[in-house]
Amino acid sequence: MALLKISEPGASKTVKSRKFAIGIDLGTTNSLVASGYSGEVEVLLDETGSGLMPSVVNYGQGQIPLVGKLAKEIATRDPKNTISSIKRLLGRSKLEGIEADQFQQYQFSSDSKTGLPEIITDAGCKDPIQISSDILTQLASQARQNFDSEIEGVVITVPAYFNDAQRQQTKQAAELANLNVLRLINEPTAAALAYGLDTQEEGKIVVYDLGGGTFDVSILSLRRGVFEVLATGGDTALGGDDIDYAICNWMMEHGLSKQLLESKGYSELVRYANLIKHELSDKDTVDLKFKDWCGTLNREDFKKICEPFIKRTINACRRVLRDSEIAVADVDNVIMVGGSTRSPIIREEVERYFGMPPLTSIDPDLVVAVGAGIQAEVLVGNDTADNFLLLDVNPLSLGIETMGELVEKIIPRNTPIPSAKAQDFTTFKDGQSVMSIHVVQGERELVSDCRSLAKFELKGIPQMVAGAAKVRVTFQIDADGLLSVSAEELSTQQKAEIQVKPSFGLNADVIEDILESSYENAESDMEIRSLKEAQVEAKQLVDSINSALESDRELLGVEQLSVLNSAMKHLSALLYAGTSVEIRSATEELNRLSNEFAAKRMDLHIGKALKGKIIDKMQEG
């Protein structure tokens, strides 16, 4: 097994003929920075000899914010200016920030012009991008102290379930810190890279990543040096922090007075709960004392506290296995990632579900940063001893709205990225010169059940009969999971495009529910889709016949016209009251009844077009 090298704190290094890039694990609770030199990967240490930097920033009255351990140490003395777990607010709206339980101790600005949640501090209002940027700046400064060269690029890890807005704001934070982002990489994928250096066999790998504030699970396939993420799942609002809050609630349920928690008390209690959690990794029972309250918490009670959170992670594992179409027995290895996975209770439950002991040989706190450092070495152009190809996947389906408020998926979930896919569409009405493109994200069949990402219009479509124009819609996802959409009318090459940069991310509960709702409603969704498609087809046929009757009604006799009108009236009534089977049956009948009318119209218009022409001459031409 390869060694994981840890650098000496404060030691300066001069490295020739190598480009310097860093990998950053931007975590909810702690963050790390790693880099490679001489073919090895190291987690860089700060002046105290630690690689873990708390993701905490204090904005007192000074010009320069305090970041990391110093900020965490004064959190209890200055809670309103000390911000932690800010990663949970990336991609959120102002309202979502105000309503988030874990941010109740902060005061949010009501005058945010950007729509981002802005926390009021003595140094001014700070949004999640600015706060994340200060954390990244400190990590980069830590790296520069270790190298006699400027950093040429950075790879930053994000949870696999981060959506477009959250990824975009992570990049913006890096740019604000004057860092050149080589790539954003999913945290589970980075962990697989760290372990994959020593894994030569083919196999299926589960990456179980339970950090301070997020949970991700991914199924990866390793085959002949190629890593491919088969499926991803998780919860962006579930982590070790939730267990800390649950311990606090348990203590209050067992006699701890809420009056003791006024002012700075609650943040002190959360910190104390975190220490208790760590102690229970090594002890069966812990004696508790917080201010005037005393109690005892044993491992059995702690297991009950953790149970609902562990159950949620196992359910996510079950869904991801189903998505990847593999059974538990097909899994070869389980990698544990994130400081919360040090808990024996969590490891035992994971081992019980997968039927094998998980891999923990690399420090679960460091493994993601190591993988990011490895990827940074590859992307910056340094030679590596190991050759591998890494394929991330798109976590949620992307598509556009079509007639009937239906979703046409263009890039399905779990498609390897970067990716580009195109699909052709056409007009619904005669003479239509504008097409509205509505980009959506989600797994349901109706637009109303999915997330709206962006809308734009393609203008200048030639005015032709319905169905004659051909519009090609292309979706492109780059390596960071960011989406660009273009629409082009092929005959005129009229084009419109948009880069999807939504203002806010998904509500945490919505993210959790997206896949569950798609499974629970799969049958009814398909029934609704079938009905909507039948309605669209029927309406298009009725509109087409009415349009034809306006110009060529004289081709039909009174009886024929009466039969056709009666069939159209019957079909129109079914549009609002019939089943999909009834509508399709009536549509087929109307098609049959209108065939003779269509043939007469074709003969008439071909006759008009050829009138006065010499057929032989036309053939010669």
Please state the separation of Cα 426 from the chain's center in Å.
30
Q: What share of the chain has pLDDT > 90, as a percent? A: 18
As a whole number of angstroms, the longest Cα–Cα distance in the chain is 108
Q: pLDDT per residue over 572-588, tens digit each?
A: 888 777 788 888 888 88
The amino acid sitting at 68 is: G
175 secondary structure, DSSP code = H
Task: Assess whether pLDDT exceeds 90 at residue 318.
Answer: yes
Query: Mean of the pLDDT values across residues 276-305?
Result: 87
Q: Residue 504: count other Cβ atoms within 10 Å of its Cβ.
A: 20
Query: What is the predicted pLDDT for the residue at 26?
Result: 94
Q: pLDDT per residue over 210-263, tens digit each?
A: 887 778 888 888 776 566 778 888 776 788 888 999 998 898 888 887 766 665
Q: Are 280 and 346 in contact (CB under 8 A)?
A: no
Sign of the C-alpha dihedral, residues 516, 517, 518, 521?
positive
- Record the pTM: 0.58
- The neighbouring-strand residues paired with 2 are none
Write out the catalytic residue numbers: 25, 87, 187, 209
What distances in angstroms separate CA 414 from CA 145, 220, 337, one per listed residue?
40, 11, 21
More confident residue, 376 or 227: 376
Query: What is the predicted pLDDT for the residue at 175?
Result: 92
Query: Mean of the pLDDT values across residues 25-48?
Result: 82
Query: Mean of the pLDDT values across residues 270-294?
Result: 86
Q: Compute the distance between CA of residue 55 and CA of residue 183 in angstroms, rounded to an integer.
A: 21
Going along the chain from its start, the domains and CATH numbers come out as 5-239+304-393 (3.30.420.40), 240-303 (no CATH), 398-520 (2.60.34.10), 523-610 (1.20.1270.10)
Q: Compute the distance between CA of residue 602 and CA of residue 475 in angstroms, rounded to an integer.
A: 39
Query: Of all helices (H) and strands (E), which one includes residue 368?
Result: helix 367-380
90 burial class (0-12, 13-18, 19+ CB within 10 angstroms)?
A: buried
Query: Mean of the pLDDT values across residues 436-449?
Result: 84
Q: Compute the distance between CA of residue 387 and CA of residue 197 in angstroms, rounded to an integer.
A: 9
Angle of helix 265-279 relative to helix 240-253, nearest 10 degrees, comes to 110
Task: Assess whether pLDDT exceeds 70 at residue 65.
Answer: yes
Q: Compute the distance between CA of residue 498 and CA of residue 427 in angstroms, rounded to an integer.
A: 20
Q: Residue 397: count other Cβ atoms within 10 Å of its Cβ.
A: 21
The per-residue pLDDT of the chain, averaged, comes to 80
Query: What is the predicted pLDDT for the residue at 83?
Result: 93
Query: What is the predicted pLDDT for the residue at 25?
Result: 95
Query: What is the predicted pLDDT for the residue at 8?
Result: 46
Coil, strand or helix at 508: helix
Q: Are 505 and 395 in contact (CB under 8 A)?
A: no
For tokens 């806010």, the residue is 504
